[in-house]
Chains A and B, each alone.
Chain A
Amino acid sequence: MPDHAMTAAVAHQFDDRDQQKEAGTLGMWLFLGTEILFFGGLFIAYCVYRIKFPAGFAAANEMMDVTLGGLNTGVLLLSSLTMALAVRSAQLGKRVSSFTLILVTMLFGLAFLGVKGIEYYHKFAEGLFPGEGFRFEGSLSRQAEVFFSLYFMMTGLHALHMIVGIGIMIVMAVMTWRGRFSPQYYSPVEIAGLYWHFVDIIWIFLFPLLYLIHVHT
């Protein structure tokens, strides 16, 4: 089965390779546009409630672990670097290098989820998961519960995207290992990279909004 020859060929609906590649890139950006609005609904909800309950959000924010949040931000930024380098290696036809960098990107993604899991565990143990078991001292309890509802929804949706991203990276690693890509054809790696960077950008906004509301004491 000449897999490589098949995937490297230009599909019949395209004039040439460049047009095919651009169509793929535009398709991913269009999808990311819908993703921005998907997360956008939660961001506007956060915005409205933060304006409505400034004291509750500030009080709830004191329960956040800035160290773990900052560490995870660093991990994701590093994963974006290794992802960009993986795409570069694919462009240059460096198969082993691209494969290794995709694996490293995946490992950073798993490390992120591990730290996130530790944070979730702490929040559950402290009774900060919204619902019947929610415990928060003082008169701002209801407002703080709104903050933690948004915290779990926003980081949960983000974590779900990370899990999908890691799944995509597994597929990319296998395809790369099997020699499916070449300097003429590496669009899947590049497009998977666009998705990965997008998930990183969401976190770039989540970190200051969820962890850094009120740390100056």
Chain B
Amino acid sequence: MQGLTSDHVVPLRVYFLVAIALFVLLALTIAVAHIDLGPFNIAAALAIAVVKMVLVVLFFMHVKYSSKLVALFAAGGVFWLAILFMFTLSDFLTR
């Protein structure tokens, strides 16, 4: 069905459902920010942002319908970012 590329035509319904989910998550992130959760405010905000990112990457950017190589390249970007954060914070947080 999907072959090497993302030639798979995604049904309209999927795009609209993803958009609705993104708006629900936007409302949720604003709502959660108005409740004092201490350190969990930032955790919740980032968790919601990550879910939104995954939805955009998988559906709008077609990674779900693309080859494993494309998924690997996409994950690679996040992997290098994780190295940037891990090495910097392992220094900064242990001073």
| Residues of A participating in the B interface, judged by any CB pair closer than 8 Å | 18-19, 21-22, 25-26, 29-30, 32-33, 35-37, 40-41, 43-44, 47-48, 51, 66, 70, 73-74, 77-78, 80-81, 83-85, 88, 91-92, 190, 193-194, 197-198, 200-201, 204-205, 207-209, 212-213, 215-216
Contact = CB atoms under 8 A, between A and B. Distances in A.
Interface of B: 3-7, 9-10, 12, 15-16, 18-19, 22-23, 26, 29-30, 33-36, 41-42, 45-46, 48-49, 52-53, 56-57, 59-62, 66-67, 69-70, 73-74, 76-78, 80-81, 84-85, 88-89, 92-93
SS of A interface (majority): helix
5 contacts: A33-B73, A33-B77, A74-B23, A77-B19, A193-B60
B30 A66 contact: yes
B4 A37 contact: no
Contacts of A30: 73
A190 B10 contact: no
Contacts of A198: 61
Contacts, number: 139
Contacts of B52: 201, 204
